[in-house]
Amino acid sequence: MFENTYKNKKVLITGHTGFKGSWLAIWLKELGANVVGYSLDPPSEPNNFEATKLQEKITHIHGDIRDLDRLMETFKKYQPEFVFHLAAQPIVRLSYDEPKLTFDTNVGGTVNVFEGRSQNPQCQSPGQRHQRQML
């Protein structure tokens, strides 16, 4: 289905220590991708990230998407060709108690990921890749 879309490609996943992000990292690794994960500590105990020993299989970076400088360093150093943005503050109850943290993480962090992508020309959207293939 994906042919060799991800084979030997550099892929950045934000939120790779969460449940969905860790499974995505495993799946992309199985497809031959060079996976770089950027995330805070796993959100629960036990967790899939530690249970699968994912830290030993991918490049793991402990980082916060609100930290633009660190995120930009990661984009510059690893130059991902694909980015999957799964990092978020997803707990609704916490969003009531800490709305600024939730906003800064979910909105500001997403803007930071967009900024990293826009400053790295090797990182292309699927639409750009399709256009290039058609030329």
Assigned domain for 5 exists: no
- Which bin fits 130, alpha (ψ -120 to 50), beta or left (φ > 0)? alpha
- CA neighbor of 5 nearest in space, from 38, 20, 27, 37: 27
Assigned domain for 35 exists: yes
Assigned domain for 14 exists: yes
Which residues have C-beta within 8 Å of that of residue 124, sequence separation ≥ 6? 81, 132
Which pLDDT does position 128 carry in this prediction?
59
Which pLDDT does position 43 carry in this prediction?
85
This prediction has a pTM of: 0.89
Which pLDDT does position 134 carry in this prediction?
41
pLDDT along the chain (135 residues), means of 10: 89 97 97 98 93 97 98 96 95 94 97 94 64 44
Assigned domain for 1 exists: no
Beta strand residue intervals within 68-111, DSSP E: 82-85
Which pLDDT does position 16 carry in this prediction?
98
Domain that holds residue 24: 10-134
Assigned domain for 4 exists: no
Q: Residue 106 sits in a domain of what CATH number? A: 3.40.50.720
Assigned domain for 28 exists: yes
Assigned domain for 120 exists: yes
Which pLDDT does position 2 carry in this prediction?
77
Which pLDDT does position 96 carry in this prediction?
95
Which residues have C-beta within 8 Å of that of residue 99, sequence separation ≥ 6? none
Assigned domain for 65 exists: yes
Split into its structural domains, the chain has a count of 1
Which pLDDT does position 125 carry in this prediction?
61
Beta bridge partners of 129: none
